[in-house]
Every structure is written in structure tokens, then in C-alpha cells.
Chain A
Amino acid sequence: MTPKKHSTRKPSKTLGKAATGIQGFDEITSGGLPRGRPTLVSGGAGSGKTLFALEFLVRGAAQYNEPGVFVSFEESVQDLTKNAASLGFDLDRLVADKKLFLDHVYVQRSEIEETGEYDLDGLFSRLDDAVQRVEARRVVLDTIEALFAELPNPGILRAEIRRLFAWLKQRGLTAVITAERDRPDMLTRHGLEEFVSDCVILLDHRIREEISTRRLRIVKYRGSTHGTNEYPFLIDEDGISVLPISSLGLDHAAPVDRISSGIARLDSMLSGKGFYRGSSILVSGTSGTGKTSVAAHFTDAACRRGERCMYFAFEESPRQIIRNMRSIGIDLEPWVSKGLLRFQAARPTYGGIEQHLAVTHKCISRFQPSVVVVDPVTNLTVVGTQHEVRSMLTRLVDFLKTRQISAMFTSLTAGGGPLEASEAAVSSLMDTWLLLESIQVGGERNRTLHVLKSRGMEHSNQIREFMLTNDGVRLADVYIGPEGVLTGSARLSQEGRERAADTVRRQELEHHRRELERKRQTFEARMAMLRAEFEAEEDKIRNSISESELLDEELLQDRGLMVRSRKADPPADRKERRARAGRVR
């Protein structure tokens, strides 16, 4: 039994890992199971051990060119093949292609008599033969513990199982050994974990409040980093999907392009362009405030742009949503038939929160939408605590963001409760939060909408009245004044009052203008009169001045004549005369 070199695949340089191909599992273990070493997969009855092991083999054989041997201690080969077929694995074909070898080890206690020392060389021989037949790189022993019930002398058996694991390791076979776990304080019923020191995985299937959840935890993984959390996983027609979302960092891209909300006025409240692509939008409000209508607009807008939209409905059936939205003028039916819109409707109680998350993932991965609507997200609290819902939403939001999918979550707030506080659990995850409220004034309820927050953009702080009309959602300004926020008919009557007051004010203004004009005219008339008086006066004065000058001249001439006649000193006299003449001129 010397180890043979199987040159099927180059082992990686660092710590060798064998990819399982199980969706999500390779991510949380950063590569898969330890290559060439045994891994213990433990769990209670029905926790998915056999399937995990089977998928590890099938994917290994089909995707990684690593043939495998499945040694079943419980199920017969026929049963195994049948069970695998229900999960989409064609074991017969793999067996025919010599990529898989199935062996059913069956020991009937009643036909065994122990007569002395024994060992498990029979099993070793069978295993060795099987490994050689398909040049196996992977081995599954499911569940070797069954031997404890069938073979006597547990002491020998334990020693032999230890030898078997060592043998597997020596042969460089990547092995999965399943084990039953029946007590919470022990990993396996027979303490197999002490033989397998490299990697131990625990599967758990628990029921809480009638809802089942499957979880996977890596108890230890020697020589490798691994997520230590409990990861929810799902078993469906594609096998196992582990949800490794919490391993994602906060490093998603932040697109700058915008997408319309489908409501023009709402877009303008969001600095005129709508939401960021890839952002998460929370629409919260009490029942009947129009959350689904906002979501329908968003959906409709996405489909109009020719983008795919996935609508997760937890409250209404798709038919019902389509019918109801038609009443506000949004026809989603054509988008469904064009394949742009897909509904995924299920009651929240249909599965645990992880199941929902897994289904959501799967749907999104298959449909590749650019817009996702979850309506309403709060219904999930039925199947999980607030903490779980928050954790699920974190994972979902992260997942959507990495794919740059814009998502709208509607959230039902219990009537009467504080609107913001109750949402605190999820609101911090959201980029944009639209709050829909129902305001009761004057014997009627009216809807309002405001943008509570919108990261990374200027947004309106105002409350808008939110009306559902035959042509969809319409937003109107609300009256905000000393009497508070008014909506509906109260707003209409207030607007009427305002219009009347406005008219009065306008009339007063006109009156003032006219008065001013009149005053100006009076003033100008007076001015003209004064000017006329002044001009008359001026004439008079001028006349008298020129008259007196004339008189002066004549006087001088007379005096000159006198001087000349008296022969007086001429120069002084001449000077005086000149000065006088200048003044007159």
C-alpha cells in the first residue's frame, strides 16, 4: 500500500486546497477543503452531511477533474443515485465515465460473530481498489460511524479508524468523513474529531418557531484562515448554497450615474436626478401610505429604461400587485411578458430568513436584474428576530451593492409607533430613506412623503403631499404655516384663503401706486407754477436793472461833459469810467 502518484492536477504552491464547487463554501474557506487531508463533516440527522459530501465529490469529478470514491455505510448505491438525481446530479453518468466510484459497505450485525482480533483491512482493500479504479483524488466516507453499531469491539474499531484516516492522508486523498452528532456538547457521537485534526465542519439544522434554518460553521481549519461565523445555507435543486456574504468588505464601487424614481417630482426632490444607481432605498410608512405604489413606479421606470427588474413580494401575489397598480395607471403586465420584470412571491413563513436570503441570491444571480424591489422587508421579522433581519439585510445590501443593483425596500411601520425609531435597525444600511406618512387633519387622512435622508446628494427637506391618482403618484406642495402642515381639503381651503388675501393685498398695492402718481402730478404742477412766477419776477428785475444802468450812463456822460468843461485831471477820471462801463456790460 505505497502511496501512488496521481498526476491529475497540480497542487497549488501554498496550503493546498481542493475546491468543493459548493456555492459560497469555497469563499468562506478561501479555496475549499484542505487538499490531501481528511475533513470531518458533522451534524445531526438530516443536516445535509451526505449531500455536502456528495456535492464535494460530484463537483470535484465534473468541474475540477478530480475523480472521487463514495463509500456509503448507510445508503445503498441505488438509493444514493436516486437521491442525488433529485438534486440534479447524474451519478450514473459519472460512474460510467469512470469519474466516480460508489461503494456501499454494508455490515449486518446479526450475521456477524466476533471470534477474536480483527482489523479493517477488508475496508482498506476495497477503498484502495476503488481509488485505483478511477484514479480518485477525493474520498467520502459516509458515515463511517455506522461501523460502531455493526462491528464488535469498539477499541479495535477506533484504532482502525485512526489508521484509516492516516492512510487517507498518506495517500494524499482529500477526504470528507461524515459523522453523526446527537449531543450538543459533542461534535460527533463517537469522538471521531480526535482523529481528524485538520478541518472540522459542523452542519446544523434547527427549528425555531416552526421555521427551519440550516447553518454551517467551520469549527477548525488548521493552517488556514476561515470565517468563524455560522453561515446559513440552503439545499435546493442545485445542491448546497452557503451564503458567505458577511465575508465581503465594504469596498463596492460607487457609481455616480442616477436613475429615476419614476416619479418626476420625487426626482426633483433628489436634486433633480433621482437615486444613485446601485444605492439602497428604504421606503417606510404605516399601512396604506402608498409604499407599493412608489415601488411600482420605480419598477415601471426601470423597465421603461429597458432594464431588468426583480420584484420580491412577501405580501401580495404578483397578479394582485399588477391589478392594484393598474388602478393607479401603472401597467406592469407588459414588462412581465417582455421578460423585463420578474416576480418572486412567497409568504415569509415559507422558510427561515436564510432561506429567503438564499432564494433571493439565487434569483438575482439567475435573472441578473439591475433593479430589485423587496416588498415589504419587514414581513421577514415574522421569521427572524430584528437582529437576524438586520443581518440578512446587511448581507443582501452588500450583495446588491457589489453587483451595483439598485434596490428598493419597503418597510411597514406599525401604526402609532415612532416612525424613525422603529426603522433604526435597517435605516443605517440605506442610502436613501423616503418616509411616507399619513396625516390626519380635519377628519381625513392624507399621505405625505419626505426624503428623510439621501446620502451624497442635495435633497429637498420639504414634505410633499402624496396623492394616488389615476395617472400614478402625484406629489404636491403642502401648506406649511402657523397652523402646521395642511394637506388634502384643508390645504385646498387654506389655499383659497390665501388666494383671497392675495387679491386684497394686490388691490392695496395698486391703490398706493395710484396715490403716489397723484402726488407726483400735484408736485409737478406746483413746480410749474413756481417757475412761472419766478420767471415773471426775473423779467421784472432785469428790466429794472437795465433801466438803472442806462440812467447811470447818462449820468456819467453828463459828468464827463462837466469835467471837460472844467479841465480836470484826465487819467484818474478815465480809469473810473472804464470800470463802470465793465460792470454794466
Chain B
Amino acid sequence: MPATRTKTRARRRKQEPEVWRLRLYVAGQTPKSIRAFANLKALCEEHLKDRYRIEVIDLLERPQLARGDQIVAIPTLVRQLPPPVRKIIGDLSNTVRVLVGLDLRPADRPGSGRPA
């Protein structure tokens, strides 16, 4: 077990500096999507400073993109990297749930162990 943990930790340390790629799907500048973007921005600043990239996709402009990521609800946040892909819907106002959804809990900070 300790060996495994060391290995995991090593990999994670190597991975952590990697940039998180987040994609936020919206449909027009609705209050909900503006709120979602603001919430996301704040959250990333706090937990992923300098390690994230947010791509906002407006489905009013590029509706065909909704099919690829199986978007139904708006706003939807897709964590593309690191894998696996995770989806979070809603305006991201419930920060705890967003962190859970992104697999980005305080316990998951660099240096702390991550339960399997």
C-alpha cells in the first residue's frame, strides 16, 4: 500500500502542474450563464490559480457543438482535462458541489492523499 501511494503521489505531483481544461456551455448572455461564468472564475482563481483554462461555448453561435459533448442542460461545465470527463450542470452557485463535481476538494490539494 505505501508503495502504491508513493507512486500515485509521484504521478499526481507530475500531473498537478498540468493545465485544467474547462469548457462552459452557455446559450446567450443570460443571467444564469453570466452567473455561472463568474462563479467558475472565482472558484478557479481560488483553487487552480494559473493552472486552468476556461473555454466558453455559446450554443446560440455554435449549436452543433452541443452534440459532441452531449449537452442538454445549460449551463454545463465540462472538465475535459484531466480525465475522466466530468459534467456539472447549473449556475455553479453551490461551490461545494462544484468542487465535488470537479473532483477538486480541499483534501485533494497537492501533497494530500487522494482516496481511490
Contacts and interface: CB of A to CB of B under 8 A. Distances in A.
Given A103-B67, A126-B67, A118 B91 contact: yes
Interface string A109-149: 00111111111111111101100000000000000000100
Given A113-B89, A114-B90, A123 B67 contact: no
B98 A105 contact: no
A143 to B, nearest CB: 14
Interface string A190-201: 000000000000
Contacts of B74: 118-122, 125
Contacts of A128: 63
A113 B97 CA distance: 7
B90 A116 contact: yes
Nearest to B89: A118
Given A121-B59, A125-B60, A128-B63, A107 B88 contact: no
B72 A151 contact: yes
Given A107-B70, A111-B85, A116 B27 contact: no
B22 interface: no
A151 B70 CA distance: 13
Nearest to A112: B87
A115 B59 contact: no
Contacts of A115: 77, 88-94, 97-98, 101
A interface SS class: mixed
A106 interface: yes
Contact of B73 (A103, A111, A129, A151): A151
A121 B27 contact: yes
Contact of A126 (B66, B85, B94): B66
Interface string B18-38: 000000010110101001100
A122 B90 contact: no
A152 B101 CA distance: 14
Contacts of A129: 63-64, 66-67
Contacts of A147: 72
Contacts of A106: 70
A105 B68 CA distance: 10
Contacts of A125: 27, 59-60, 63, 66, 71, 74
Interface string B52-83: 00000001100110110011111111000000
A29 B59 CA distance: 39
B70 A105 contact: yes
B93 A122 contact: no
A520 to B, nearest CB: 121
A107 B92 CA distance: 19
A111 to B, nearest CB: 5
Interface residues of B, number: 37
A116 B92 contact: yes
B49 to A, nearest CB: 21
B63 A113 contact: no
Interface residues of A, number: 25
A565 to B, nearest CB: 178
Nearest to B97: A115
Contacts of A124: 27
B90 to A, nearest CB: 4
B100 interface: yes
Nearest to B31: A117
A151 B35 CA distance: 20
B86 interface: yes
Interface string A23-44: 0000000000000000000000
A559 to B, nearest CB: 169
A27 to B, nearest CB: 38
Nearest to A132: B63
Nearest to A117: B91
A113 B98 contact: yes
Nearest to B103: A113
Nearest to B40: A115
B76 A116 contact: no
Nearest to B100: A113
Contacts of A107: 70, 72
B90 A118 contact: yes
B54 to A, nearest CB: 15
A113 B88 CA distance: 5
B91 A122 contact: no
Contacts of A121: 27-28, 30, 59, 73-74
Contacts of B90: 114-118
B64 A116 contact: no
Contacts of A113: 86-89, 97-98, 100-101
Contacts of B35: 116
A120 B67 contact: no
A132 to B, nearest CB: 8
B88 A112 contact: yes
B88 A122 contact: no
A112 B36 CA distance: 16
Contacts of B71: 122-123, 125-126
A503 to B, nearest CB: 103
Interface of B: 25, 27-28, 30, 32, 35-36, 39, 59-60, 63-64, 66-67, 70-77, 84-94, 97-98, 100-101
Given A103-B67, A111-B86, A125-B74, 5 more contacts: A114-B94, A119-B32, A123-B72, A125-B63, A147-B72
Q: List the 7 closest pairs (A to B, CB-CB), nearest first.
A: A113-B101, A116-B90, A121-B27, A129-B63, A122-B71, A121-B74, A125-B59
13 contacts: A105-B70, A107-B70, A111-B84, A113-B101, A116-B91, A116-B93, A118-B90, A120-B73, A123-B72, A123-B73, A125-B27, A126-B72, A129-B67
